[in-house]
Chains A and B, each alone.
Chain A
Amino acid sequence: MTRAERGRIAFSFDGQTMQGAAGDTLAAALIANGVSLVARSFKLHRRRGIMGSGVEEPSALVTVGSGAHVEPNVRATDVFLYPGLVATSQNAWPSLALDIGAVNSLAAALIPAGFYYKTFFGPPSRWMLYERFIRRAAGLGRPPVLPDPDRYGHRSAFCDCLVVGGGPAGLRAAWDAVQAGQRVILVELDARAGGSLLAETVTIDGMPGAEWAAAMVERIRAGGGRVLLRTTAIAHWDDNFVQAVERRREPGEPGEGDAQVLWKLRAGRVVFASGGIERPLVFVNNDLPGVMLARAARELVLRHGVVPGQRAVIATSHDHAYRTAFALADAGVEVVAILDTRADPAGPVVAAARARFAVHADARVLRAVARGGRVGAVEALIGGTRMRLSADLLAMSGGETPVLHLHRQAGGALDYDAARGAFAPGAARQAHETHGAAAGIHALAAILPGATIADPLGTVTPPVAGPVWRGEVPGKAFVDFQNDVTTDDLALAQREGYVSVEHTKRYTTLGMATDQGKTGAMVALAQIADLRGLPLPEAGLTTFRPPYTPVTMGAFAGPARGEHAGPIRRLPLAAAHDAHHALWVPAGAWMRPRAYLQPGESLGAASLREARMVRASVGVVDVSSLAKFEIAGPDALKVVETVCATPVAKLAVGRGRYTLMLREDGMVMDDGTLWRLAEDRWLITSSTGGAARMARHLSYAMDILLSHPRAAVIEVSEHWAGLAVAGPRAVAVLAELTGEPVPAHMGLIDAVIAGVPVRLLAASYSGERAFEVHVAADAAAAVFAALVAAAQGAGGGLYGLDAMDHLRVEKGHVVIGAEADGRTTPADLGLGGMLRKAGGYIGWQGLTRPALANPAGRRQLVGLTATTGQPIPEGAMLVGQPGDDPAGHVTTSAPRVAGEGQIALGLLADGAGRHGETLLAWSPTRKQTVPVMVGAPLFYDAEGARYRD
């Protein structure tokens, strides 16, 4: 289909509406509309146009889309037109044509590579002034500030053969695999299959190359293979795990469903048919609009029907670029000359060219001369004579670099081919192989054995590298176009001692832009090798890291964003709490009731009211999220003794105790309660947040430490809902509901409430007489209703997490994560006396270390009282004077429940011996300094009278 036969698509660039053709890239459409200035370069703000044809494009970066859909740094060659596409230029003010940033070019001598390491000395405040201007002076696009409204999917797939690249080699490999009965997936980053064929005039089996490619895709699909177009393989990981990003919509394009899909592919074997990327030649002003890679110019004509200039010079080091001369000439462009750097080019293609064009051997471009904002003339050295050729298009080719990024990520080796000045894929470490141009094989007859191939121009010789630039004329010769790195910068790096390629890269930022130096990396390497007087492979190569092309963050997040970023766990009684107007708060993955606000009540007022209600009458709180484990079997005691650091064996059946679980280094890892349900059956409860950790800890103890003892551990955290009933009226409430005597403090019984079997565990967290009621989660609603009704009847009601926290602070109970923060031993928390003297628990060895065993200097648990009644800021440092090194910090603060005032728990160096001291709780970030008095970490019922009936 000719360009005229394709549908029209309206788009805009920098506010100007234009028309393109269906199938155009934005770049092709801009050129068709006569636009040659597309961007301003990163540092020097030089005029830039379109240089390449695909993802390797370094210069033509634009911002596409608007509002929340805006995407910066889009390569104009890698976005396909859709109706209403809005594109704007970047890094230019006030306009692309009249960019003030161009002054950077005038000052270029002052801002070579690494200039910022040598300038801007002085006080930090002066730097903050410079920084504001520097930030605006250089850059690429602006990042979006609105949340990404697009949806992104994740898909997994498996295949016997994954083919990366849909050019002739990839299509053939996929077809061969399909015919061999293998499951095949082929990924191609372009919108169409064909690869290099899309810029050629060959016919295969009687069809033009592009048509043959489309037909091959249909055959592969008909044979059961999966072909994903517009899909880029971005990374190759272990065991042939390859990630690929499929663009279902272009940047900024509106639509339904996933905008992009991240494919997670596991393949039996991988075929890399990723082709090669053309290299630029190095000469002064090789970055001007109108200076293009030869294949890109050819593709504009043959694929898009667009002519990028009127008078063309082709500059090349090998045969392939000659094809561009023929394509341009056939499209009506005047081909002024072909400049071949080789001394004696020969062969059928050269001969055919000589018959039609002026072909010069031993010819090198020295400088591209600007006229009217784009190239207007070419200064060349031809056989030793300087000549000036008038041209508005310079198609250059300094060889080809095989795309070996994924081969390298897969651990493959590289072999250097000195004849071509390029690396070839060496030994593979995983099950992968490289086909086609990526392996240095260009002849279609070799890639498609058995196919009938007609090439009007005859076979070309393999591409060879262009000559090294030695500054034959002064001026800027670019090796990295996107980061504005010139050959002068490379020489500077060498002079300053940044000799290795790793240092040169980081000092000059060579290859560190969003294009990862796809066009210029090997060219720069040749320059560096020449400066160092080394063969190129000895100059070294930097590491190829994923992703192969930039990937939007949303594609990695996939469906796990916003509310779906992680699982949300809802309590079995969530609906019942909602009916009581619970204010919910995330506690880890769980949503728990924080308080039950009455009309007009603030959160602080509600939680204090609830806490006082517990001390005065009775309260009910949901503790279902606590971790719970049952351990049973003849060796159950051994398991419990391994994990719990307190005495265990003498605990009688029907009794429980508070217990600690330590890490191997002796630090407190978790705490909870331990109950003996039967001779060989135990129940452990532990912290909500540590449930997964405790489950794994128990599994490790069972399988690794104890080598499968005669015992089983079952996690029953979700099996039992838990409701704590606490307060002086708790005994009366439960006795009435169960119809039997409640257990003594730290005892347990099985009972029935509202016809439902329950277990009552007499443990207290609040400091009042209390019971945990365990009931099967799916039967909990009736028990909850009965408990709440009875509590309300006794003058009490529901309480939430905040009230529970206030109550436990008064009693000095520690919380894992607050007081026990992974740096505290039991002794630090005042619990050293609780440890089992016979040892034999995880952590006993760690505790014997002198630094832990000696309490001197250790931060110990203390209670803090605000002497002025101000709330004590959590996390505040404990100091004598503001500015002192902290002697400790505030872990949890709370209002007093029994009485008035503000209290807190904290960790203070040698705190046990400092009761009575006055310190400051100092928080400079919150600008708060609160005087506090140090005391025992216990503010209520020191004798434990409340636990006795």
Chain B
Amino acid sequence: MLQIPCPHCGARNQEEFTYERTPDSVVRISDAPDAAMTTLYARANPRGEEQEIWVHLCGQWLQLTRDRLTHAIRDVVPL
């Protein structure tokens, strides 16, 4: 059960957040179809740090820099 720092509410339990996706998996309306499908389905799976988009139940979207091996959260940015 991670403790995730919500930019709006402070450190809260993981169960209050929902994981969305990594920022490089966000499909933009303006993306061409082939690029959009590659973005959606071909995911990087880094053994180490990555950026992650989460949303808190307060409605705040946030982007974490989190290590997938140690689970350590290095950075949080409000979106």
Contacts and interface: CB of A to CB of B under 8 A. Distances in A.
Contacts of A241: 1, 3, 13
A703 B59 CA distance: 10
Contact of A845 (B13, B26, B33, B79): B33
A845 B2 contact: no
A494 to B, nearest CB: 32
Nearest to B63: A704
Contacts of B71: 238-239
B30 to A, nearest CB: 9
Contact of A705 (B14, B29, B32, B59): B29
Nearest to A264: B1
B55 A696 contact: yes
Contact of B37 (A266, A642, A705, A845): A845
Contacts of A559: none
A699 B37 contact: no
B3 to A, nearest CB: 4
Nearest to B71: A238
A705 B39 CA distance: 14
A840 B30 CA distance: 7
A845 B36 CA distance: 7
B28 interface: yes
B53 interface: yes
B40 A664 contact: yes
A664 B31 CA distance: 12
Contacts of A429: 70
Given A642-B29, A696-B55, A841-B29, A846 B36 contact: yes
Contact of B3 (A238, A411, A696, A699): A238
A484 B34 CA distance: 59
B79 A704 contact: yes
Interface string A600-625: 00000000000000000000000000
Nearest to B59: A699
A705 B23 CA distance: 11
Contacts of B16: none
A700 B20 contact: yes
A849 interface: yes
Interface in A896-949: none
Nearest to A706: B29
Contacts, number: 59
Q: Contact residue range for chain B?
A: 20 to 34
Contacts of B1: 237-239, 241, 264
Contacts of B55: 696, 699-700
B40 A665 contact: yes
Interface string A690-731: 000000100110011100000000000000000000000000
Contact of A704 (B2, B13, B53, B59): B53
B64 to A, nearest CB: 13
A842 interface: yes
A848 interface: yes
B76 to A, nearest CB: 14
A664 B61 CA distance: 19
A842 B79 contact: no
Contacts of B13: 241, 266
B70 A845 contact: no
A239 B18 CA distance: 18
B33 A705 contact: no
A88 B66 CA distance: 51
Interface in B14-68: 14, 18, 20, 26-29, 31-33, 36-37, 40, 53, 55, 59, 61
A238 B20 contact: no
Contacts of A642: 29
Given A411-B70, A696-B18, A704-B53, A664 B29 contact: no
A703 B33 contact: no
Nearest to A700: B20
A849 B61 contact: no
Interface string A218-253: 000000000000000000011101000000000000
A294 B20 CA distance: 55
Nearest to A429: B70
A239 B29 contact: no
Residue from the set B27, B29, B31 with the largest chain A CB neighbour count within 10 Å: B29
Contacts of B14: 238
Interface in A117-161: none
A712 to B, nearest CB: 12
A844 B3 CA distance: 37
Contacts of B37: 845-846, 849
Interface string A30-61: 00000000000000000000000000000000
A809 to B, nearest CB: 34
A845 B59 contact: no
Contacts of B26: 704-705
A849 B26 CA distance: 18
B20 A845 contact: no
Nearest to B27: A664
A605 B8 CA distance: 54
Contacts of B31: 845
Nearest to A266: B3
Contact of B27 (A237, A266, A845, A849): A845
B43 to A, nearest CB: 13
Given A237-B1, A664-B40, A704-B53, A699 B61 contact: yes
B68 to A, nearest CB: 12
B48 to A, nearest CB: 15
A703 B53 CA distance: 11
A842 B29 contact: yes
A812 B53 CA distance: 39
A592 B40 CA distance: 37
Nearest to B35: A845
A902 B29 CA distance: 44
A694 B2 CA distance: 26
Contacts of A264: 1
A866 to B, nearest CB: 41
B61 A845 contact: no
Nearest to B28: A705
B59 A239 contact: no
Contacts of B20: 700, 704
Interface in A343-365: none
> Which one of B31, B37, B70 has the greatest number of beta carbons of chain A within 10 Å?
B37
Contacts of A411: 70
Contacts of A239: 1-3, 71
A404 B79 CA distance: 41
A238 B37 CA distance: 34
Nearest to B18: A696
B3 A845 contact: no
Which residue of A264, A429, A704 has the most chain B CB atoms within 10 A of its CB atom? A704
Contacts of A665: 40
Contacts of B2: 238-239
A664 B35 CA distance: 13
B33 A848 contact: yes
A147 B35 CA distance: 54
Nearest to A846: B37
Contacts of A840: 29
A703 B79 contact: yes
A596 B78 CA distance: 50
A36 to B, nearest CB: 45
Nearest to A642: B29
A245 B13 CA distance: 19
A238 B68 CA distance: 12
Given A699-B61, A704-B53, 19 more contacts: A237-B1, A238-B1, A238-B14, A238-B71, A239-B3, A266-B13, A429-B70, A642-B29, A664-B36, A665-B40, A696-B55, A703-B61, A703-B79, A704-B79, A844-B29, A845-B32, A845-B36, A848-B33, A849-B33
The 6 closest A-B pairs by CB, nearest first: A845-B36, A845-B33, A239-B3, A241-B1, A848-B33, A703-B61
5 contacts: A696-B18, A705-B28, A845-B27, A845-B37, A849-B33
Interface of A: 237-239, 241, 264, 266, 411, 429, 642, 664-665, 696, 699-700, 703-705, 840-842, 844-846, 848-849
